[in-house]
Amino acid sequence: MLAAVTELHYGEQTLLGLNIASARRYPDFVAELEEASGQDVGHRACGTLAVAFDSDDRAQLRELHTFQQELGLECAWLTGRECRRLEPMLAPGVRGGLRVDGDHQVDPRRLAAALLTACERAGVDLHRARAERLLLDGDRATGVELTGGARLTAERTVLAAGSLSGRLAGVPDEVLPPVRPVKGQVLRLSVPERYAPFLSRTVRAVVRGGPVYLVPRENGELVVGATTEELGWDTTVTAGGVYELLRDAHELVPGITELPLVETCAGLRPGSPDNAPLLGPTALPGLLLATGHHRNGVLLTPITGDVMAEVLTSGELPPEARPFTPRRFAAAADAGAAPAVPAAPDAAPSPAQEQHT
């Protein structure tokens, strides 16, 4: 989902600015990418409905609505009946909800495939191998060594290895990104023709304190997500994870138990200490970062591409990206702030084994 407004958290207004700027770029980005790749990326301007079940949820959602209004964001409060009129499959217990017409969706798997095709068509040389080690010449990054020993040299190297970005060998400790894996389990169901349209927009809620969302894809797929687990490099799909997602989704939309369950999977989000990405040059000349996007990697794809293109060509981070410089963590450490990133268990795969949800 592209949930700039519905995934807003208190204290993250700076990140909200980046999320909204990226959401605004989506229509043009998708048009350009689909043209360049010849592939459809499943972008749907469908909007999102966040609903509440009990008076606590309702009060919490009301507060979020007030906060969103203070920030000038577009959203509308609906009664339970209005929510069900929009989405008739919702449970009768829904007490109210927030309609956010600007939070859309794109299919991340199709997006990644289209980006690869577009890169190949543009003449990008893709090496499908693991980057094992950063190469250094004195105090300068000069490229990477791949599995098997091949070396790729470069004036500038962008480390963009998702949750594994903090594990690349050879990166000096003081510039190693403080990125940790945050596990998310996801289910995919399919909506048979006779039930369509099952949902017409993304529907989300907080059930028993945990967020659950249902994203209906154009191709009849219904994505149910996602757990948030701090378990290091573990990507096991667990009975408990699947049970909790189905239980919470069922509470929201009871009819889902009729749908075929076609896939379960788990991936690792690249979490950073302040939940915001690290974009741009590090203190090591020649090494830049584009990582730590946590829950917003797909949403932030267009702006990350633009920001990195700008900094690689001009040497300057554009103003909208300056709050996200990787150097903000070094500055906090110099000021004596406690490190905010919990250590992950050791047996980590190397960067090229990262998985995406």
Number of residues that bind ligand GLY (CB under 6 A): 5
Backbone angles phi, psi at 19, to 5 degrees: -60, -45
Please report where in the chains the tokens 């207004």 appear, as a residue: 13
| Residue 194, CA distances (Å) to 135, 216, 219, 254, 257 in order | 57, 15, 14, 16, 15
Interaction residues for ligand GLY, span 92-151 (CB under 6 A): none
Least separation in angstroms between residue 220's CB and ligand GLY is 21
Least separation in angstroms between residue 224's CB and ligand GLY is 11
Count Cα atoms within 13 angstroms, Cβ side, for 1. 30
Least separation in angstroms between residue 227's CB and ligand GLY is 8
Nearest CB to ligand GLY, comparing residues 19 and 282: 19
Least separation in angstroms between residue 197's CB and ligand GLY is 22
Q: Read off the DSSP letter of residue 355.
A: -
Least separation in angstroms between residue 186's CB and ligand GLY is 8
Structure tokens given for 26: 């989506």
Interaction residues for ligand GLY, span 180-199 (CB under 6 A): 184
Nearest CB to ligand GLY, comparing residues 143 and 184: 184
Please report where in the chains the tokens 């794109």 appear, as a residue: 106
| Residue 178, CA distances (Å) to 35, 201, 207, 275, 329 in order | 36, 35, 31, 11, 8
Nearest CB to ligand GLY, comparing residues 184 and 241: 184
Least separation in angstroms between residue 108's CB and ligand GLY is 10
Separation of alpha carbons 347 and 350, rounded Å: 10
Please report where in the chains the tokens 């080690």 appear, as a residue: 133
Separation of alpha carbons 256 and 250, rounded Å: 6
Least separation in angstroms between residue 226's CB and ligand GLY is 4
Return the closest-CA partner of residue 258 out of 184, 191, 322: 191
Q: Does 226 bind ligand GLY (CB under 6 A)?
A: yes
Least separation in angstroms between residue 230's CB and ligand GLY is 14
- For residues 59 and 66, the answer to whether their CB atoms sit within 8 Å is no
Q: Does 175 bind ligand GLY (CB under 6 A)?
A: no
| Residue 286, CA distances (Å) to 280, 283, 306 in order | 11, 9, 19
Nearest CB to ligand GLY, comparing residues 144 and 299: 299
Structure tokens given for 41: 């990326």
Nearest CB to ligand GLY, comparing residues 132 and 233: 233
26's enclosing H/E stretch is helix 13-37
Nearest CB to ligand GLY, comparing residues 178 and 184: 184
3-class state of residue 211 by DSSP = strand
Nearest CB to ligand GLY, comparing residues 225 and 241: 225
Q: Does 225 bind ligand GLY (CB under 6 A)?
A: yes
- For residues 41 and 30, the answer to whether their CB atoms sit within 8 Å is yes
Q: Does 295 bind ligand GLY (CB under 6 A)?
A: yes
What is the per-residue binding string for ligand GLY in 245-284, x denoting contact by CB under 6 A?
------------------------x---------------
3-class state of residue 281 by DSSP = strand
Structure tokens given for 148: 């098997």
Nearest CB to ligand GLY, comparing residues 6 and 157: 6
Nearest CB to ligand GLY, comparing residues 135 and 265: 265
Least separation in angstroms between residue 283's CB and ligand GLY is 29
Residues that bind ligand GLY (CB under 6 A): 184, 225-226, 269, 295
